[in-house]
Every structure is written in structure tokens, then in C-alpha cells.
Amino acid sequence: MTQHTDQGQPSGGLSFRRSLLSVLTLLLLTGLMFLIFQDHLPEIRQAIGKLSPAQLGLLLALALTYPLIEGVISQRVLASRVPGFSFRRGLDLAFLGAFGNVVTFGAGTLPMQGYDISLSGLPAVPGMGLMTLQYVFHKGAVMVYAVLLLALNGRWLLAADAAGMMRYLLPACLMVAAIILALVLVCTSRTVQRAAYWALGRLPDTGKWQARRQSWPRQLDGLAAESRSLLADRKLCIQMFLLQVVKLALMYAIIWLGTDFMDLGPLTFWQAQTLAALMMLLSNALPNVGGMGSVEASFYLVFTGFLGQSGAMSVLLLYRAATYYFTFAVSCVGFFFIQRRWARGKQAAA
């Protein structure tokens, strides 16, 4: 987890013990996943063996569009407050997001991003408010895109689901959509924000809760202020939302291409998009550790009825290798250079 200064900004350092614990947890969960898959490993190896180097390169390139588009979004959002904010700095924020999600279990992501933004002249709290708002736009895009796809392909989905599992998954996803909508309203509705202030004021006034009573309202203040400012720029909001949808569609396309490349099923592009959107929506309702667990479980639940167990596991392994492990490895390289930039900045300020 990030270490903090007295001003509440991260120093840019990471606790070696916590980082090691995170990496060991990642390795443990990866080993557990392979243990679960062991009965189907021959079929999985056979399916993945059908991939050519060019096909694998295309899938990895698609996976990289996720942080690249997030970098574009961060650049556009921060440039509205910090003139001249570059795409390179926006891409650094995307790498910090991917890196922090794994190494700090997500807890250190916003502090690291806030610290990096503060080096550009914008205080950390408003910076974290902007990043939180970007996250809300992501969640909103997950919900809206899924609802649109389900509206267009819902009949096919229910008719093709021989096991009848979708009848249980769809109501669960509607509950998740309601949670995401509540998160969006916290950022956009003054009435909901006032209710949040009221709830925060009734937290226990002892121990850790006392510090949270002081810090959370400040963060909510920054979020509310930045929300009002950003939402007033409708052109920027539309750009953010459309970029988020494109980001999701490209990530979901990895599943469709992987299925096609490995000859695992007759799913069309839009059918694969619909199943992937349902999977992503459902994963938001499940707990995860460092970004693992929820996606794997929801992927298996959604795709097994259409691809079979070994087929679903093959595509899942390929999808997570591209969107999680490969992206994390690239973010590690990015974090190395970010740390060097932080160190040069501290030396120049000394």
C-alpha cells in the first residue's frame, strides 16, 4: 500500500511486505484456477494450441487498447483542469490504475493517482475526485452498454440458454445495475450527496471511524465539486462515455475472436458482446481479490452454457491472460518509469 505523508498525499513508495503479499496472493489464486481447470487441461491446451502467433499478437494488441483508451480519457479529463496535461501523463494514470489494482488490492490506486496528479499542479483531493468520476463513467458505460445489448439480444439469450441459468442471472444483473446507478447518483445528484453527508455524519466517533469521518467528507467535497464542474461540460462528458463504450467493446471482442480462433462456438460478434456485457455486469456483484475471482466466476457462469466447460475455460484463460496478466506486466514496466520520474522530481525539489 502506498505510504502517506503528513499532508495525506502518497510519497510514491510501496510497502515491500504488502506488495510481496499481493504478488503471493496473485500466484496462489492463479494456482487455484489451474487446479480447478486440471480435469480439462488437455482440451484447453489443444484449443489454445490452435492460435497462431499473429492471432495471439492481435488479442494482446486489443488488450492494450484498454489502458490506451483510459489514458486518452484521463488526458481529456485532466486537461480540462490542468492545461497542457499530456497523453503520456494520462497513460501513466492508467498504468497506476492497473498496477495498484493488483499490488495494493485497489486500496492504493487512488492515492497513487492523486499524488501523480498533484505533481502537475492540481491538488490530490480534486485529482482523486476526477479519477473517481472517471470510474463512475466506466461503471455507467458497463451498465448502459449491457442494458442495450440485452434489450437487442435478450430473446436470443433466453432461447439459447438450455440450462435456464439466465433466468436467474438477469435479475442479479438488474440488482447490480441498481447499485451502479446509485454510485452514479452520488456523483451527479445533489440530493443524494446531501444524504451521503448525513450518513457520514453518523459514523462512530471512535478509533479508525473518527479519521474516516474527517477524510471521507473531504473526499466527497472534492468529488462533488469536480462532478459539478465536469458535468457542466456536456461535450466532454459525451466523449468520455463514448470512449468508455469503445473501450469495453474492444475488450469484449477478445472473447469473440478467441472463440473464433479456437473453433469453439458459432457465436456472432454481437452475441459474444452480449454475453461478455452480461458477464461484466454480473462480476460487479461478486467480491474479488486484486481484481481476481469475480470475473472468473461470472465468466464461467455465463459462457459454460454456450461453449461447454472446456470451451468456456479455454476462452477464459486466454481472455484473462490478455486483459489481466499481460496488462499487469505492461503496467509494471510503466510503474518503473513512473517511479523514476517521481524520484527525479523529488531530487529537483530538494
**pLDDT tens digits, 273-332:** 999 999 998 887 777 777 888 898 899 889 988 998 899 999 999 999 999 999 999 999
Residue pLDDT, tens place only, 37-74: 788 888 989 999 999 999 999 999 999 999 999 999 99
Q: Please say if the pLDDT value at position 18 is more than 70.
A: no
pLDDT of residue 128: 86
292 strand-pairing partners: 289
Highest mean pLDDT among 96-105, 202-211, 242-251: 242-251
Q: Could you tell me which residues come within 8 angstroms of residue 105 by beta carbon, excluding any fewer than 6 positions away?
A: 22, 289, 290
If we measure between CA atoms, which residue out of 60, 63, 92, 53 comes closest to residue 75? 92
CA 185 to chain centre: 19
If we measure between CA atoms, which residue out of 108, 138, 109, 113 comes closest to residue 125? 113
pLDDT of residue 47: 92
Q: Does residue 314 or residue 106 have the better pLDDT? A: 314
pLDDT of residue 195: 83
Q: Whole-number mean pLDDT of the chain?
A: 85
Q: Please say if the pLDDT value at position 209 is more than 80.
A: no
Collapsing DSSP states into helix, strand and coil, what is residue 12? Answer: strand
